[in-house]
Structure formats: C-alpha cells, structure tokens
Amino acid sequence: MSTLEAIIIAIIEGLTEYLPISSTAHMGFTAALMGLPESEFLKMFQVSIQFGAILSVVVLYWKKFFDFKNFNFSFYVKLICAVIPALILGKLLDDKIEAVLGNQIAISGMLVFGGVILLFVDKWFKNPKIHDEKDITIKKAITIGFWQCLAMMPGTSRSAASIIGGMTQGLSRKAAAEFSFFLAVPTMLAVTVYSIFVKTWGEQTGNPMKGYEMIMQEGNFQLFIIGNVVAFFVALIAVKTFITVLTKYGFKFWGWYRIIIGIGLLIYFWQNPTTSTPEPTTEVTSITVQK
C-alpha cells in the first residue's frame, strides 16, 4: 500500500465513521476498487485508523469529556454500560466478523438494506422526548449499546445502528447522533487497542503477528501515522457537517445514498467476483508488498 492509497482510505474513514453509511464498507470498497490485494496489514490498518477519527470527537466535545470542574459522573457510567455489549459480543464474534470483511457483495447488500430502513426512520420517530444527554437513563444507554451491536455485520454502520437505537428510546435526532459520537469513543478505542495489542492477525496464513508488530515493519509505521492524522482532520469536518445536515434534513438523504451506492457496487462486484471475494493470502510477502 502506497502513501497515497493510505491517505485515500484515511479520508474515506474520516468522512464516513460518524455518518450512517458504514465506514467499514466504504474503506473496503475503496481498497477493492484501487486493486489493493487483501492482506492482514490492510485489514488492521482499516481498523486502527479509527483512532484518529475518535480523537476528533474528543476534541470537538472536549468539555463534555474533561470538564472536571463540573464533573458528570453519570456521563461516564452511561458510556461504560453502553459499550459493554459490544465488547462482549465483539470478542465472541470476532472471527465471523473478519470472515465477512472480504465479501463485498454481502456488504453491498447490507448497505442497500440499511438504506431502505433509513428512508422510514424519520416517520417512525416523530415525537422525541429527550433532547440532551443528561436525560438519558442508564437503562436507555444500555439499550442503545445493544443496538450498536447490529453494526458488527460489516455494511450496517455503527453510527446508523446507535442513532436509530437512540431514537427508539425517545432521543431527538441531534441527541441520538451526539450520544452515538460519545459512545464511539470507548467503543472504537477498545477496538483499536484490541486490534493492535491483543488480536493475532494472520493465524491462517502461517505467519501470525500482533498488530503492533505489523505496524513496526519497514514503511508501515509511517502509513499508520499518516492514516490516523488524515482521519482525524477529515472527521473534524464530517462531524460538524453531519449534525447540521441531520438536524435539518433527517435520514432520507443518507438512505437514498446507501441504496444507490449499494446497488451500483452490487452490480460491479457481481461482475467482478475476484474483486469482491479475494483469495486469502498465504505468503509472508502479502504484508510487505503493501510498503
């Protein structure tokens, strides 16, 4: 993977991480369309650069996370309770999730299905009762956390699942979106730490490595840093824009976007099956070729 390719993938991550259109799907499509061969480093890179996007929310909502003068203990309790379902199910379903990451046809189908759901969300939840995070109970936070778990199927969108989950609990579009942003911080931080320091990649290839071992290989560390920096700055813009668009126009735009893009990609990957379901790598050079 070249520096330019890493930047492009990071731009896609920053743009889509907090939008209800699935960042995992878009990064996978982008890599496939650029002709990048599937490798353990590429999969780990796509997960780990989410750290940069996470930092954008921390910066934009700095006072929410670090206002120790008016310390809001319940805010952290809600986030901890809400992230637990994803941590448990994510660990249990890790191998199954990874197996789907290379199947672009399945992911495209989920993109279309999720788009259809988004077309009706605004009609289903017309009378929100909660407009601020302070009014979210721990029970509602946990429920939203379970909704977030739907995004473990690549192509669903963590943002869409958690925002819709929030709206089922009476949150307004803006309140649901902001709580989804807050919940992304512990969720994606856990995923990033797990992918870099805990998970062993490439066990099926005969060349197992921890994420940090791949990162420290020649050339990969530079790509890792560049990817996170780019994702951070792009996400800063995306978060602000999304809140404005969502509050004013709702979900319908994003629904049609998912449907149109999903159908287009279904057609493309159906006609190019080798692109949508690449063969698993079996050589050590499958990682080093990305340099």
* Residue 171 near residue 187, CB atoms below 8 Å: no
Residue 51 has pLDDT above 60, yes or no: yes
Q: Is the pTM of this model over 0.85?
A: no
pLDDT for position 70: 77
Average pLDDT over residues 44-66: 90
Adjacent-strand bridge partners of 200: 210
- Give per-residue pLDDT as tens, 164-220: 999 999 999 989 999 999 999 998 888 889 899 988 888 777 788 999 999 999 889
- Give per-residue pLDDT as tens, 228-245: 999 999 999 998 888 888
pLDDT for position 79: 94
Q: What angle do CA 163, 57, 7 make, to 5 degrees?
A: 105
pLDDT for position 280: 35
Q: Which residue has the tokens 């009378």?
A: 127
Average pLDDT over residues 8-28: 90
The distance of Cα 79 from the centroid of its chain, to the nearest Å, equals 17
Using the Cα atoms of residue 13, residue 17, residue 21 and residue 23 in order, give the sign of their dihedral: positive
Query: What are the φ and ψ backbone dihedral angles of 210, each rounded to 5 degrees?
Result: -75, 160
